[in-house]
């Protein structure tokens, strides 16, 4: 492995990790000394990668650093295309527009993998949702992004409607249902809300009573199979 290849590989390693990566870990991975690992991190930083951290603690890649899309093989391109198609079909309007823009950028730099003819060779499709839920999804995502409470008018399985104030934690997509995980002020517990049963949704000005990171950790303790 050349030094240039190692620098790209270190970037990829940092991109894949959610926790700080120490120089010792980098050295063990690539068969180099810790001093060489520090020099490589300094080189990457000087070339534009936003890497934060310090000796003994580890390093984190904050802003993504562009790796040329020529590194995508056929299976990787198919996986990306399938993900984009899912967002186009099942996302709200803003997410769908973002997926369209993302695909256009990929096609511009790597048409052999992402233009229309390439897409036709990757017949992996996603079914649309059963009804129009884009507006509600957009409101729920806005509450999540802004870390705000959300007021719902929710229809339960029996058909009864009730207003709920919830603290959004996570939004998940299932076969034909989108599900919001949230802390419910009424029940004083985590609850799941099907988006297709949300009759109205409004982002409130108040912030939840606990930081989102705390809520997420508490929810994942109850749902250990959730993967982010």
Question: Tell me: the pLDDT tens digits for 76-118?
Answer: 888 888 889 888 888 888 888 888 888 887 887 778 778 777 7
Mean pLDDT, the chain, integer: 85
What is the separation of C-alpha 141 from the centre of its chain, rounded to a whole number of angstroms? 12
- The alpha-carbon radius of gyration of the chain (Å, integer) is 22
Count of alpha carbons within 13 angstroms of residue 97, beta-carbon side:
5
Does the global pTM surpass 0.85?
A: no
Is a pLDDT exceeding 90 seen at residue 15?
no
CA distances from 166 to 11, 136, 160, 185, 200 (A): 39, 15, 18, 6, 13
d(CA 3, CA 13): 15
CA distances from 88 to 134, 181, 196 (A): 11, 22, 18
pLDDT grade, residue 63 (50/70/90)? low
């Amino acid at each position: 492995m050349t030094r240039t290849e190692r620098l790209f590989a270190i970037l990829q390693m940092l991109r894949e990790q959610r926790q700080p990566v120490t120089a010792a870990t980098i050295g063990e991975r690539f068969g180099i000394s810790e001093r060489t690992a520090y020099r490589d991190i300094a080189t990457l930083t000087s070339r534009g990668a936003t890497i934060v951290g310090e000796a003994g603690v580890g390093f984190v890649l904050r802003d993504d650093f562009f790796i040329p899309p020529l590194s995508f093989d056929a299976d990787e391109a198919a996986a990306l295309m399938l993900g984009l198609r899912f967002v186009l079909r099942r996302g709200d309007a803003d997410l769908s527009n973002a997926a369209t823009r993302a695909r256009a950028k990929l096609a511009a730099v790597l048409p052999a993998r992402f233009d229309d003819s390439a897409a036709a060779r990757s017949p992996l499709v996603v079914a649309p949702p059963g009804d129009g839920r884009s507006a509600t999804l957009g409101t729920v995502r806005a509450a999540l992004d802004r870390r705000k409470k959300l007021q719902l008018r929710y229809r339960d399985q029996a058909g009864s409607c009730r207003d709920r104030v919830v603290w959004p934690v996570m939004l998940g997509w299932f076969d034909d249902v989108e599900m919001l995980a949230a802390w419910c002020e009424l029940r004083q517990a985590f609850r799941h809300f099907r988006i297709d049963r949300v009759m109205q949704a409004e982002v409130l000005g108040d912030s939840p009573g606990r930081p989102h990171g705390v809520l997420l950790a508490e929810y994942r303790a109850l749902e250990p199979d959730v993967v982010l």
